[in-house]
Amino acid sequence: MTQLSCPMARSMVSDYIDGDLPRDQARSLEDHLQTCQFCPPLYASLVETLTELKALDDVGGVDQLVRRVLAALAEPPGPDDPLPRRA
């Protein structure tokens, strides 16, 4: 199975949520989300945001907001940066 880097995984997340990701890539992303300590919270917040927006039926703003969230996803600390760890 292909090992994804965090930037690769994050670039695939929006397609994954849309259901546009090929099955093998979706599997790789799911595998990454299960093993990575950085991406799952980002993925969860993106899903949460999209879910809330769909609930509001605010379709016009979704595209812009997705872009903002994806831009934010590109910025969080990578594996080289210390993060607070759960004890």
Nearer to Zn ion, 31 or 38 (CB): 38
Helices 23-35 + 6-18 axis angle, to 10: 120
Q: Is residue 42 close enough to count as binding Zn ion by CB under 5 A?
A: no
Task: Compute the CA torsion angle 60, 54, 32, 9 (nearest 10 deg).
Answer: 0
> Is 12 near Zn ion (CB under 5 A)?
no
Closest to 72 in 3D by CA, of 48, 52, 36, 45: 45
Identify which of residues 36 and 46 has a Cβ nearer to Zn ion in the complex: 36
Choosing from 13, 36, 42, 73, the residue that interacts with Zn ion (CB under 5 A) is 36
Q: Residues 13, 21, 29, 39: which binds Zn ion (CB under 5 A)?
A: 39
